Structures are given as C-alpha cells and as structure tokens.
Amino acid sequence: MSEFFLELFSEEIPSSLQKNLREDLLDSFNKLFNEKFISFKKSSSYSTPNRLIIVFEGLQKQVVLKSEEIKGPNINAPKIALEGFMRSNNISKKDLFKKKIDKGEFYFFKTKPTKLNTHELLEESIPLKLQKIQWKKSMKWGEFDLNWGRPLKSILAVFDKKKLTFSFHHLVSSDTTFVDKEFEDNKKKFIDFKNYINFFKKINIIIDQNQRKNLIEKKFNEISNKKNIKIENNSKLLDEVVDLTDQPNVIICEFDRKFLNIPKEILIITMQHHQKYFPTFDKKGNITNEFLVVINKKDINGLIKLGNERVVEARLNDAEFFWKKDKSQNLVKRVSMLKSMNYFKGLGTYFDKVQRMRKLGGMLSDELLISKDKVELSASICKVDLVSELVGEFPELQGIMGGYFAEAQGFEKDVCKAISEQYLPAGLNSKVPKKPYSVALSLADKIDTLVGFFGINQKPTSSKDPFALRRLASGVIKTIVENKKDFKIRDLISYSAGLYLDQGFEFENKSLQNELVNFLMDRLKFYMKEEKIRSDIVLASSSFLNLDQSVIIFGKAKTLNKYINKPNGIDVISSFKRASSILESELRDKKLELSNTTDPGIFKTEFEKNLYKKINELRKYFQNINKDEDFDLSINNLAESKKIIFDFFDNVIVNEDDITIKKNRLELIQMLCKTFDYYVNFSLIDSHQ
C-alpha cells in the first residue's frame, strides 16, 4: 500500500475558486481509481493561496484486471462495422465469437487478464485530469497556451516515495516545490506528505484549511471573551479569509468613534464586503469602533494594524461625506431625477416604475386596511436613493439608505421602514417584512417587476434566471404566507398589467396572467418543500385551492404534514382510504351513476344513520369556517370520525343485492369522501410513505 501526493503551486488563487477546485480535483481522482478498481484507504484535499494538494493513502501499487467480454456489432451488420470493431480493439477475426442476447446475436471478444501498474497509470492520467479542470475564470500568461486560474509555476507529484514524471504544457513534474512564495529560488524535495506538512508547520505555514479555520475561530473567541464584545457569525467571510491566508493571525484595529454616527450598515459593508474585516458589537448589539483583521503574518511592528486603520479611515471619511450630503437632499424634489434612469428596455424608467408602484400600492392598501396616501408616498420616494452618491458607492445599500434618508427628513416611521424593507425578503432565509406598509411596498415592487419581465418574455428558463425572478416570486409567496394574509393575486397581476398599458407599454406575451399565476404556484410548492412538507401533501393541498388562498394551502399542508405519521393523521388517512377504495372498486364497471346526495329514508341500519349524521356534522363545521380555520381542529374532527366510519364498513354490506340500497350506500360513501376533500384532496396522499 502506497501514498499518492500531488501539489500544484501557482500565483495566489482567489478564495472563490479554491473550494470548488479542491473538491473537483479530488473527485476526479476518486473516480479514476474507482473505474480502475484500485482501492485506497483515505483521500483528502488541501489548499493555501498558492498551493493545491491532494493526497491518497493506502493506494494499491498494482491491480489485476479480470478478463471481460466486449460486445461488438450484430452478426448481420455490414462488414465495415466488424472491421472497425476489430481495428479499434486491435484483434483479428479468430479472437471473435458469437453470442445470443436479448437484442439478437452479436460478435464478442474476451479480453485477457492484465496487470495495471498504478505508477504508470498516474503518469499517464494526471495531465489528462489537470486538462479537464473547469475554471469559472482563467487566464493565460507569457507565451504559454495553458489556461489556469492563476499562473501555474510547478507540479510536485510523488507515488510510493518515488517521483512521477510527466509533462503538462510547459511544465515538467518533479518531487520538489517552492518553499517561499515570495522568493522562488528556494526549492525543497519531498518524498511523502507527512514530511511535507511537517516541514511547512515548522515555518508556521498551515496547509490544512480546516486547521486554519479552527485557529482563527479560537482567536476570535479569545478576543471576544477578553474584550467583552461580540463578533457576528459570517461563515462566508470566514471561509474567504481562511483561503486568503496560510499563516493566519488576528489583530484588533480601531476607527474614530465619530464614524459611529453613520448608519451601521455603511460601517458593516465597508468592513465586511470591501475590506474583509470583522466588525464587533457590544452586548446590546450596538456596533463598536473596534474591528478584527485576519492577516497572513504576525504584526511585529504594528505597521499592518496602522495600515488597515488608515484604509478604513479613508473609506469611512468618504462615506461620511456622502451621508451628510445625501441625507440633506429633498427626496420628493429628487423624484423627477428618476426620469433619466432607465429601468429596463420595454419597461420604461424608474420614474415610470414608481408611478405604477404608487397605484398598485394603493390597491394593496385597501386589502390591508391602511392609509392609501402613506403607501403612495412610500412608493413615490422609495427609489430616490438610487440617484444618491452613497448608493453609487455602496450599491448593496439601496433601499436601506432610502429609509435612513426618509428618517433624516422627518417622514413617518411606517414610511421609512417600508422604504428600507422594500427589497425583503432577499432569499429563502431572509427576514420578511411584517409591518403593513412594508408588506404593501414590498409586494408592489415585486409584482410590478414580475409582471413586466413576464410581459416582455424575459422569463426564467430551466437553467437560467438572469433577473432572479424565481427569488422575487419566492419573496412574494414568503411575504404572504408568513404574514398569514392572502391577497387577490390574479386581480393584482391584471391591474399591474393594465398600469403598464396605461403608460404605453404593450406586452407581447398574451398569456402573461396564466403563466405568472402558474409560476407563483410553483414557487409556493417549492416553498412548502423547503419547509420539509411531503411532496404528496403539497400536491394534495394545492389541487383544489388557487393562489389567492396561499395561506390556507400552506396552513393545511403544514398541519397535515405534522400529523401524518401520528395517531390522528393515521386515522384520517386510513378512514379516507378505506372509503375511497371501496367506492372506486364498486364504480369501476361504470354501470352505476351516483347522485350527490343520499336518501336517509331507506337506511336499514343505525350504522348508516350514524355515518350520515357524522358527515353532516363535518360538513356543517367546514362550511361555517371563515378565513381563520383552526387546521389542528379540522384534523382532529376528521380523525374522530374513524370509529363511526369503521363501524359502518365492519357491519354494513355495501354490495347489496337490492340495487337501490347499494346505490344509496355508495352515495353515502361518496358524500363522506367529498366531505374529507373540504380539507385537502386526500386521494393524492400516498398512504405507504
């Protein structure tokens, strides 16, 4: 058993490319060894900014490949096909034999058992595997024709403590690598991974990215406890700085306290997105003027700390200047500036958009029973921050800064909050607007966008969604469901399309309404699946109700999903399935035509009377429900009917000789099934899951 060890040394590879590269390269060699039936004990991959490493431990030195039968052309195939088969496999006609299989009689030949040398296989396969690496972004350099993430400088390849020799473009593999990425004249030979990783450990370079991450997290915790501050969990940024360093160290820096008067979002985005710093917060959640920086070496003289503080000071000075300037600009007077800002070809300017949003928001305000004037005012000024210098510098803060500008200019809190939350929710795990004015503005914005893009046929395809319309539609669904407030979505879509027409924008998509309703329904189903609701329950709950009842659809599905494997749920399903299976069985010959009622006057048993009474009780319960259905109570009421239903089937013969009695009993069972359907379409529930 031997070790295979490969290192690719290059210029610094961006963190965004490292993780996929580690995983893809390791996976490609895993597949190679599995295809060749070469076993190994363990495989792993590592990376630093300059190094990509994969290691396979306990790898077989050689394997014996068993003989196998290779299928050729049909015996009736043209002669040229047979000749091509023999030529491609380097065999003669005497090596062939005929064999009958399901599809006919074919030529076959049997390969001989062969020994496969792993060392030779690797020398042959590594260049091919490297050539197949797919980069999101790659580059060429010098006169070389190699495309790589960053200039590739050397390849170290060792198997069984022996050098693997092969060429890859202008490079020849070796058993040496550059020790110092700054001074590439210093190289060292390695024959196994243990010596390699121990050598770099002695010079404080940590090859394993997981160890680097643990070290950084440990230092964060030490600083947090010592300084009594909180460090917001940002796993994406943490992974990024882990991949940007190989000698990580954490230092504490400060900025001038005067900048704490700037909105905290500006401070956070300046530090996190632009500088890769970690802001800190006090125990009350207020941002402090201290921040953490993950650097790549020890800051012996404090110069790195000073440099980072100067960089953030300069950026915050700019932000403060923009903030003071922009917040004093009258929002209402600047609305007209949106006329010169195009929204999208065929959909007008941002000024056109806010006029549509005003009217759509007014319609939503009627359903939310809130001030129409305040909703229209929110819509009118909600996009003005797009013309501010601050949003030009920090585009990620659009909407949020609009809320701050409105607050600084004395607008009501509801208006300010609606503007700041207009883009929420931004994803499945994002916060949802809860205040009525925020809900109205958020939905008006999203519905206007969806109607516009569907109208000009810029719809998502199975593989592409360049305008994030799925995310927008999910935002509409999430806002409606989590606020437990249904809207007349079809009417809103129709009204929104009319607003575009009033502005002179005529849509080419004449199926806009149906397509968008179906699209939103698909998003509702997706949302329910994300909430871990069974697929059959999702289908059953959405088959009878429409999009205007999204809250009810979700509530019914969520509750049934909760009970489905518990006694009450099992009772409901078993009761319905017993009734529906008998009904289906008796109606299979289609000789009987059932009416929608049954005649209690010809009941012969108490069991029929009891079931009829229970059905009427359930129907009365469901028909008296308004919008506020207690879904738990509905499930319990259906479950409680099990005894009466089973007593009926255990004691009453449905398949009576008297056709009138039989028909009447089947109509009673049909009434029962239709009563269960008041909740969901139980016929779509899989009772075997």
Tens of pLDDT, residues 22-68: 899 999 999 998 888 888 999 999 999 999 999 999 988 887 777 77
Of 530, 549, 573, the position where a domain reaches its end is 530
Residue 212: is its pLDDT beyond 70?
yes
pLDDT confidence bin for 180, thresholds 50/70/90: confident
pLDDT for 147: 84
Judged against a pLDDT cut of 90, whether residue 393 lies above it is answered with no
Band the pLDDT of 184: cuts 50, 70, 90: low
In a domain, 540, yes or no: no
Helices 512-530 and 436-455 pack at an angle, to 10 degrees, of 130
Contacts 24+ apart (CB under 8 A), 324-330: 325/389, 326/385, 326/388, 326/389, 326/390, 326/401, 326/405, 327/404, 327/405, 327/408, 327/409, 328/408, 329/388, 329/405, 330/409
Tell me which of 112, 147, 169 is where a domain ends. Answer: 112
On average, the pLDDT of the chain sits at: 91
Long-range contacts of the stretch 396-402 (C-beta < 8 A, 24+): 396/269, 396/273, 397/265, 397/266, 397/269, 398/423, 399/423, 400/263, 400/265, 401/263, 401/265, 401/326, 402/331
- Does residue 185 share a domain with residue 214? no
Model pLDDT, residue 572: 93
Q: What is the pLDDT of residue 141?
A: 82
In a domain, 630, yes or no: yes
pLDDT in tens, 527-547: 999 999 999 999 999 988 899
Q: Indicate if 167 and 302 belong to the same structural domain.
A: no
SS (H, E, C) 454-480: HHCCCCCCCCCCCCCHHHHHHHHHHHH
Q: Are residues 497 and 570 in the same domain?
A: no
How many Cβ atoms sit within 10 Å of the Cβ of residue 581? Answer: 11
CATH number, domain of 602, equals 1.10.730
Cα dihedral across residues 243, 247, 250, 254: positive or negative: negative
Is position 235 within any domain?
A: yes
CB burial of 446-480 (b: ≥16 within 10 Å; e: otherwise) equals: bbbbbbbbbbbebbbeeeeeebebebbbbbbbbbb
Is residue 251 domain-shared with residue 382, that is, in the same domain?
A: no
- Distances, alpha carbon 108 to alpha carbons 35, 56, 68, 113, in Å: 22, 37, 10, 16
Q: What is the pLDDT of residue 136?
A: 84
- Residue 374's Cβ-side half-sphere holds a number of Cα atoms within 13 Å equal to 21
Whether residues 151 and 292 share a domain: the answer is no
The pLDDT of residue 178 is above 70: yes
Q: Which tens digit of pLDDT belongs to each residue from 63-100?
A: 777 777 888 999 888 989 888 998 888 888 888 888 88
Q: In the predicted model, is pLDDT for residue 398 greater than 90?
A: yes
Name the pLDDT band for 102 (thresholds 50, 70, 90).
confident
Q: Do residues 30 and 58 share a domain?
A: yes
Give pLDDT, residue 347: 95
The CATH number covering residue 50 comes to 3.30.70
Asked if the structure places residue 239 within a domain, the reply is yes
Query: pLDDT digits over 425-436, tens only?
Result: 987 788 999 999
Count of structural domains, the chain: 5
User: How confident is the model at residue 294, as a pLDDT?
Assistant: 94
- The answer as to whether 537 is a domain residue is no
Better-scored residue on pLDDT, 654 or 551: 551
Among 154, 177, 202, the domain boundary falls at 202
Mean pLDDT lowest among 178-192, 270-284, 490-504, 596-610: 178-192
Q: Does 77 lie in the same domain as 57?
A: no
- Verify that 182 and 248 share a domain, yes or no: no
Range of the structural domain that residue 586 is part of: 560-684
What does the pLDDT read at residue 198?
93
Q: Give yes or no: residues 97 and 173 share one domain.
A: no
- Whether the pLDDT of residue 593 is over 80: the answer is no
Q: Name residue, tokens 């047979």.
A: 82
**598 lies in a domain?**
yes
| Sign of torsion over alpha carbons 239, 243, 244, 249 | positive
Buried-exposed string 91-126: b where 16+ CB fall within 10 A, e elsewhere: beeeebeeeeeeeeebbebeeeeeeeebbebbbebb
Same domain, 377 and 473: yes
Using the predicted structure, report yes or no on whether residue 367 has a pLDDT greater than 80: yes
- As a whole number of angstroms, the distance between CA 183 and CA 467 comes to 46
pLDDT at position 629 over 70: yes
Judgement on whether residues 171 and 298 belong to the same structural domain of the protein: no
Span 213-248, pLDDT tens digits: 999 999 999 999 999 999 988 899 999 999 999 999
Q: Taking 90 as the threshold, does the pLDDT of residue 596 lie above it?
A: no
Q: Tell me the mean pLDDT in the region 280-305.
A: 91
* Average confidence (pLDDT) over 6-22: 89
Which amino acid is residue 200, in one-letter code? F
Is pLDDT at 689 greater than 90 in this prediction?
no
DSSP string, 589-654: T------S---GGG--SHHHHHHHHHHHHHHHHHHT--S---HHHHHHHHHHTHHHHHHHHHH--S
Domain contains 546 = no
Mean pLDDT along residues 578-584: 89
Q: pLDDT-derived band of residue 590, with 50, 70 and 90 as boundaries?
A: low
Check which CATH number belongs to the domain holding 407 and give it: 1.10.3210
Residues 136 and 185 in one domain: yes
Asked if residue 159 lies in contact with residue 3, where contact means CB atoms within 8 angstroms, the answer is yes
Which of 177-191, 319-333, 389-403 bottoms out in mean pLDDT, i.e. has the lowest? 177-191
- Residue 377 has a pLDDT of 95
